[in-house]
Amino acid sequence: MKKTLVLTIILVLSLLIGAGLSRTLLAQQKDGVKSIELPAMVFDLADGPNRDKAAGFCAICHGAEYIPMQPKMSKAQWTATVTKMVKAFGAPIPQEDADKISEYLGGAYGTGK
């Protein structure tokens, strides 16, 4: 009795796994379709006032890594960068928030100048 149950479970599991595998294979084999799944990656920004504002607005268009990747910049350079995001790249950041984000970046990722 116990043996039958174990065998049944194994059979059901193999069928399920088999069905899953063949579905995957079919999806990959459909002629002329190429699909990829991008890995989800999340990066912590450095602590500081208005960190959440920066993280939120910047994430509309790009991953947070764009920020720590940059060389350390002065407050003026970070302000110019945020202005570029708004004016050139069309980021919908109200001026008041843009100012706070520049302040944050100049502090957390700045040269101190």
Partner 1 sequence: MGVHHFTRREFLKAAGTVTAVTALGGMPFDALAAPYERRLVKFPEKTNLILLTSRPPQLETPLSYFKEQITPNDAVFVRWHISEIPTSVDLAEWRLKVGGNTEKELQLSFGDLAKFEKVSYTAVIQCAGNGRSFFDPRVPGGQWKNGAMANVTWGGARLKDVLNAAGLKAGSVDVSFNGLDRGPLPSVPDFVKSLAMDHALEEDIIIAYEMNGKPLTMLNGFPARLIVPGLYATYWVKSLSDISVNTKAFEGFWMNPAYRIPDTECGCIPPGSKPSRTIPIHRMSTRSLIITPTEGETLKTNKPVNITGVAFSGGYGIKDVIASTDGGRSWSQAGLGKDLGKYSWIQFTLPWKPAKAGTYTLMAKATNSIGDSQPFEGLWNPAGYLWNKVEPLTVKVK
Residues of this chain that interact with partner 1 (CB under 8 A) are 31-46, 51-53, 55-57, 59-63, 65-66, 68-71, 73, 77, 81, 88-92
Smallest distance from the beta carbon of 19 to partner 1, in angstroms?
23
Smallest distance from the beta carbon of 28 to partner 1, in angstroms?
12
CB neighbours of 21 closer than 8 A, spacing ≥ 6? none
Query: Residue type at 79?
Result: T
CB neighbours of 83 closer than 8 A, spacing ≥ 6? 98
- Nearer residue to partner 1 within complex by CB, 4 or 47: 47
Smallest distance from the beta carbon of 103 to partner 1, in angstroms?
16
Smallest distance from the beta carbon of 110 to partner 1, in angstroms?
13
Closest CA relative to residue 58, chosen from 111, 98, 103: 98
- Nearer residue to partner 1 within complex by CB, 5 or 88: 88
Which helix (H) or strand (E) segment is 37 a member of?
none
